[in-house]
C-alpha cells in the first residue's frame, strides 16, 4: 500500500495542469497558422458542459437551424467530478481521463478527437484548462464559441451562455454570410 504526502498529490495535480496548458499553447500556435477553408457544413462537433443550457430541446433547435439530421452531430460533454448532469447522447468525460502528463487515456475520446468536423460549436465558455484543451483538440474546419480573452474561434459571439437559441440564430446568420450554410 502506498501513502502519498498531500504535497506530492498537489504537485502531481499541478504537473497534469501544466502539461495541459503546454499542449493548449501548442494548439493555439497551430490554430493561428491554419487556413480556413469554407465548405458547406455536413458534420458538427458540439463541446458542452453542465453549466451550458444545452438540453434535448435546444439541441433539436440547433439541428433544425443548421438543417442537419441528428446523425450529423457528435456531442462531447466535459463535467466536473461532482456535476450532476442529465447527459445527452455522446461522450462524457472529466479530468480523470487525462494522465499525470496530460495524455488522454480513453480510446473513445481519442477516437472522437481523431475525426474531422466541418463545424465545432463550443458551448462550454471554457471555464477550465481541460475544456480549453479539448476545444482546441477537436479537428474542425470552422470553430464557433463565446467571446473570450484569446482568439480560439473563427467566430466568437458575445451572447450569454444560457441563451443557446440566440447563440444559434446569430451563428446561422453569420455562417450564411460566410457561405457555410445555404
Query: What pLDDT score was predicted for residue 119?
Result: 94
pLDDT range class, residue 117, cuts 50, 70, 90: very high
Name the pTM for this structure. 0.82
Q: Please give the mean pLDDT across all residues of the chain.
A: 83
Q: What is the mean pLDDT of residues 112-122?
A: 93
Query: What pLDDT score was predicted for residue 13?
Result: 62
Would residue 86 be called left, alpha or beta, if left means φ above 0 and alpha means ψ between -120 and 50 degrees?
beta
For the record, the C-alpha cell of 141 comes out as 474546419
Strand pairing partners for 98?
A: 104
Architecture of the domain whose range is 16-33+40-80+88-178: 3-Layer(aba) Sandwich (3.40)
Residue extents of the structural domains in the chain: 16-33+40-80+88-178
Q: Length of the chain in residues, anyone? A: 182
Amino acid at each position: 500500500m502506498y501513502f502519498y504526502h498531500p504535497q506530492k498529490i498537489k504537485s502531481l495535480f499541478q504537473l497534469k495542469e501544466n502539461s495541459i496548458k503546454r499542449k493548449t499553447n501548442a494548439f493555439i500556435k497551430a490554430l493561428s497558422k491554419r487556413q480556413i477553408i469554407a465548405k458547406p457544413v455536413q458534420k458538427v462537433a458540439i463541446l458542452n458542459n453542465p453549466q451550458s443550457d444545452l438540453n434535448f430541446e435546444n439541441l433539436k433547435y440547433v439541428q433544425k437551424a443548421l438543417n442537419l439530421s441528428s446523425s450529423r452531430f457528435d456531442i462531447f460533454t466535459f463535467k466536473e467530478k461532482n456535476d450532476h448532469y442529465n447527459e445527452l447522447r455522446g461522450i462524457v468525460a472529466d479530468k480523470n481521463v487525462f494522465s499525470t502528463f496530460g495524455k488522454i487515456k480513453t480510446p473513445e475520446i481519442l477516437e472522437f478527437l481523431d475525426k474531422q468536423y466541418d463545424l465545432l460549436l463550443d458551448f462550454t465558455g471554457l471555464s477550465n484548462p481541460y475544456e480549453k484543451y479539448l476545444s482546441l483538440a477537436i479537428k474542425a474546419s470552422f470553430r464557433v464559441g463565446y467571446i473570450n480573452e484569446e482568439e480560439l474561434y473563427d467566430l466568437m459571439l458575445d451572447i450569454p451562455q444560457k441563451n443557446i437559441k440566440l447563440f444559434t440564430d446569430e451563428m446561422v446568420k453569420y455562417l450564411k454570410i460566410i457561405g457555410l450554410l445555404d
